[in-house]
Amino acid sequence: MLNISKTNVNKLIDLGVYNSFQRVYHVRHHRFLSRFLGIFAIMGIIILFLPWTQNVSGNGYVTTLTPDQRPQSIQSPIPGKIEKWYVKEGDFVKKGDTILFISEIKNEYQDPKLLERTLQQRDAKSRSADSYKSKVRALEGQLGALQRERSLKLNQAKNYLTQSKLQVKSDSIDLEAAKTNYKIAELQFNRFETLLNEGLKSKTEVEQKRLKLQETQAKLISAENKLLTSQNKVINADIEISRISAEYADKIAKAESDKFTAASNQFEAEVQVSKLENQSANYEIRNRLYYITAPQNGFINKALRSGIGETIKEGEELVGIMPSDYDLAVETYIDPLDLPLIHLNEEVRIQFEGWPVIFFSGWPNASYGTFGGRVVAIETFISDNGKFRVLIAPDAADNSWPQNIRVGSGAYTIALLDDVPMWYELWRRLNGFPPNYYQPENGEKSKDSK
């Protein structure tokens, strides 16, 4: 058959009588090939017009819907030394349960009666402030008494001044009367003396008038002295009023000075009381910080520091905890080119690692093992990996997510977009074009429609 020999066997032997030759060397094989190629071409053309769902895929992992439900580490709020552990890895703890106990390492806090002594200092300062407050009240009473006494003294001095002024007026009237009497007596004496020279009056009568004149002159001098005395009393009354005002002004000023000094000491004592109350409250809170407690219900994942007697710094991570109550979500990342295609409440199909799945990219309805989700948050700033972060929550209208899935598991997400013919999708991918830009049905019109 390979025509190695010059003798042609096919001419000597009739191969047509063999079944194998009839099956191999028949003239109808090209008909089957032509039919196969035609059917394949027709199917290919039909497939090109089948609908294809465009999508944006991304890789991510399972997380929680809210930040307070995500795994966290518990830090030490103060520096200290580990004294005792109350839990082990894998234990379930409730909110407020003690995880470990630490002791103090700073010298200023190592006194076991530090809080008690601080409270005693606060009470002593508080009593001192109360004493100064009582002194201020006493000085206020003293000021009131001095003011009332000054008022009484001034009223008394003013009354005396008024009396002195009235006495001056009375003495002035008496002086005028004495002057009048003196003039009358002088005129009578002169008249009698003239009559004596004429012989009409006796010498005895003249002497009586002389005596009368001297008496009126003495009364005049006495009236003048009384007037001068009453005038001096007026001056003395004015001086007494000034003296009383100055005296009580000095006493009141001194009492007010003592009052302000006592008030200043009271305020300073109250400031010290406030500082000591602040210190005692801080010490009381610090004593409670020696017991590291669980911030919420959860499971102890891993002890980040171990042993007994190890010293820890402030803010150092001690143990990791995973909350027991959480709502699952998927955190995925998409390329900046696909960001305009993602919208809030967008439908997404999710494939979880470790769960069997049969997935067809363009026909999500024909896929098996994927779970539905909805976009609830889109990051407005690019992440460190050069992509944008998208948070996906379970779709309430779809099947529930697996109960045994764990936070941190891998996930593959497919955001479903427009339905296009397959030939258009092939043409788009061959040209490197992005999927069609569109808006959801309840959103704005797409750029293409514009």
What is d(CA 293, CA 309) in angstroms, rounded to the nearest whole number? Answer: 19
Q: Is residue 437 part of a domain?
A: no
Last residue of a domain, one of 304, 323, 342: 323
Residues 31 and 58 in one domain: yes
Per-residue pLDDT reduced to its tens digit, 249-280: 998 999 899 989 999 998 999 999 999 999 99
Q: Is residue 390 part of a domain?
A: yes
Q: Is residue 5 part of a domain?
A: no
What is d(CA 421, CA 425) in angstroms, rounded to the nearest whole number? Answer: 7
Mean pLDDT (whole number) for 383-395: 90
Q: Is residue 65 part of a domain?
A: yes
SS3 421: strand
Residues 331 and 370 in one domain: yes
Residues 159 and 30 in one domain: no
What is d(CA 263, CA 269) in angstroms, rounded to the nearest whole number? Answer: 10
Q: Is residue 2 part of a domain?
A: no
Q: Is residue 294 part of a domain?
A: yes
Tracing tokens 């976009």 back to the chain, one arrives at 375
Residues 134 and 247 in one domain: yes
Q: Is residue 6 part of a domain?
A: no
Q: Is residue 372 part of a domain?
A: yes
Q: What percent of the chain has pLDDT over 90?
A: 18
Residue 441 pLDDT level (bands cut at 50, 70, 90): low
CATH number at residue 211: 1.10.287.620
Dihedral pair phi/psi, residue 252, rounded to 5°? -65, -40
Q: Write out the residue range of the structural domain in which residue 275 sits.
A: 114-288
Residues 58 and 175 in one domain: no
Residue 85 pLDDT level (bands cut at 50, 70, 90): very high
How big is the chain by its Cα radius of gyration, in Å? 60
Residue 50 makes CB contacts below 8 A (sequence gap 6+) with 421, 422
Q: Where are the alpha helices (DSSP H) in 289-409?
A: none
Cα angle vertex 147, ends 141, 149, to 5°? 100
Residues 131 and 266 in one domain: yes
Q: Quick check: 377 and 388 in contact, CB under 8 A?
A: no
**pLDDT for the residue numbered 98:** 92
Residues 254 and 125 in one domain: yes
83: part of which helix (H) or strand (E)?
Answer: strand 80-85
Residues 315 and 371 in one domain: no
Instruction: For the chain, give the longest Cα–Cα distance.
Output: 231
Q: Sort residue 307 into left (φ over 0), alpha (ψ -120 to 50) or beta.
A: left
**pLDDT for the residue numbered 298:** 92
Q: What is the mean pLDDT of the chain?
A: 82
Mean pLDDT (whole number) for 227-253: 88
| CA distances from residue 26 to 2, 29, 30, 429 in whole angstroms, order as listed | 19, 7, 9, 44
Dihedral pair phi/psi, residue 440, rounded to 5°? -60, 165
Residues 56 and 139 in one domain: no
User: Model-level pTM?
Assistant: 0.59
**Which segments within 248-346 are labelled E, that is strand?**
291-293, 298-303, 311-312, 317-323, 328-334
What is d(CA 295, CA 321) in angstroms, rounded to the nearest whole number? Answer: 9
What is d(CA 275, CA 256) in angstroms, rounded to the nearest whole number? Answer: 28
SS3 112: coil
Residues 88 and 144 in one domain: no
Let me know how many helices (H) and strands (E) the chain has, helices first. 5, 14
**pLDDT for the residue numbered 45:** 82
Residues 268 and 149 in one domain: yes
CATH number at residue 419: 2.40.30.170
Residues 65 and 178 in one domain: no
Residue 305 makes CB contacts below 8 A (sequence gap 6+) with 82, 312, 316, 317, 318, 319
Count of other CB atoms within 10 angstroms of residue 179: 15
In this predicted structure, the answer to whether residue 443 has a pLDDT above a threshold of 80 is no
Single out the residue of 422, 419, 423 nearest to residue 436, CA to CA: 419
CATH number at residue 79: 2.40.50.100
Number of domains in the chain: 3
Residue 354 makes CB contacts below 8 A (sequence gap 6+) with 409
